[in-house]
Amino acid sequence: MFNSTINTSPLTILPQFVDEPVFLLSIDDEISCFPNICTHRGFKLVSHPGLNKQLSCAYHGRRFNLDGKVEFMPEFKEVENFPRPCDHLQKIPLKEWNGHLFASFDPAISFSGISKVLNNYIGFYDFRALKHSPDYNEEYTVNAHWALYIDNYMEGFHIPFVHRDLNKYIDYGNYTTDLHNHVAVQIGFADKGSPTFKLPESHMHYGKSITAYYIWIWPNIMLNCYPWGIQYNIVKPITANITKVSFIYYICNKEIFDLMQASKLADKTEREDEFVVEEVHQGVKSRFYSTGRYSAKRETGVHYFQSLIAKYMSNQ
């Protein structure tokens, strides 16, 4: 039995694709992540978020402790070699970064490297001031392959041609892409009159006018960082032809958010992206399309993303 009440929150990782049920277990500010299935017969352990006195299966009464180990099971005295390692819940790797949680079933890289990049570029944010603003959250359906959506995100080459309103805030001539291990950062230098970050002297870009950092984390997470806050994009493959994209808003400066008409600008930019990505999805199927070469100056991010796809697909 637990000595204090636990808080459990069920969720599903990438529904309709990975489709893996998990739950978060928190007690005394410590958070763990476990598969949301009983190891006995596969029944869901946690159906609703809330407080519980114990973690037990409502099907046959198997009970687990805070580490996911089997603590009690009715009618199992005659079962030999019980419990075995496979009877316990497998703890899923979970990392915290400034109040945000990142989980991976089988991490191919260390999260410490990712968090180091995030801290170098956007660690100056007052994350206590960032407030989740669900009224602005959106989910979009894109009739295209998820990798084509990422391709489009990974370069600013198309901005002057596709995103006329966004282009007003960005100095395209100085637009830069920095590549790191499984992370890419696009730096949007500000055009005249654009809101800019107040960067500390310790920051690598101190003294420069920057209006946006666009950060991509392999394979499907983006952080669009502005002076008003951060917009997370989660790209979710549904089928080979359908992708869903969630926009999740964290706002720290509502005045700048309203000044930039941020939600309207984001929606317009997304619709423009959807149009070109869906057109490309059809275009690459043509018998007359083989492969396009990359701009050495403007498409380094796209090339890096595709090189990672090739790397991991060759390992399958």
Q: What is the rounded CA–CA span in Å between residue 246 and residue 233?
A: 5
How far apart, in whole angstroms, are the C-alpha atoms of residue 171 and residue 154? 17
Whether the per-residue pLDDT at 316 is higher than 70: the answer is no
Contacts 24+ apart (CB under 8 A), 4-7: 4/28, 5/51, 5/52, 5/53, 6/51, 6/52, 6/53, 6/54, 6/55, 6/66, 7/49, 7/50, 7/51, 7/52
- Set out the domains of the chain in order of their start, with CATH numbers: 6-92 (2.102.10.10), 123-314 (3.90.380.10)
Residues 6+ apart with CB under 8 A from 142: 149, 242, 243, 244, 245, 274, 277, 278
Would you say residue 259 has pLDDT above 70? yes
- Find, among 106, 10, 101, the residue nearest to 316 by Cα: 106
Q: What is the pLDDT of residue 67?
A: 93
For the chain, give the mean pLDDT: 95
Q: According to the model, what pLDDT value does residue 125 have?
A: 96
pLDDT cut 90: percent of the chain above it: 91
Q: Are 264 and 257 in contact (CB under 8 A)?
A: no
Is the predicted pLDDT of residue 29 greater than 90, yes or no? no
**Which pTM does this prediction carry?**
0.92
Rounded Cα distance between 309 and 108, Å, is: 13
Q: What is the pLDDT of residue 243?
A: 97
Going by their DSSP bridges, the two strands 50-52 and 30-35 should be labelled as: unpaired
**229, 249 contact by CB (below 8 A):** yes
Q: Look at residue 225 and tell me whether its pLDDT is greater than 60.
A: yes
Alpha-carbon torsion, ordered 102, 235, 212, 266, to 10 deg: -130
Averaged pLDDT for residues 230-241: 96
Q: How confident is the model at residue 28 (pLDDT cuts 50, 70, 90)?
A: confident
Would you place residue 2 in the very low, low, confident or very high pLDDT band (cuts 50, 70, 90)?
Answer: very low
- What digits encode the pLDDT tens for the residues 41-96? 999 999 999 988 889 999 999 999 999 999 999 999 999 999 999 999 999 999 99
CA distances from 138 to 100, 231, 260, 270 (A): 19, 11, 18, 11
Nearest-angstrom CA–CA distance, 309 and 74: 47
Taking only the tens place, the pLDDT of each residue in 149-197 is 999 999 999 999 999 999 999 999 999 999 999 999 999 999 988 999 9
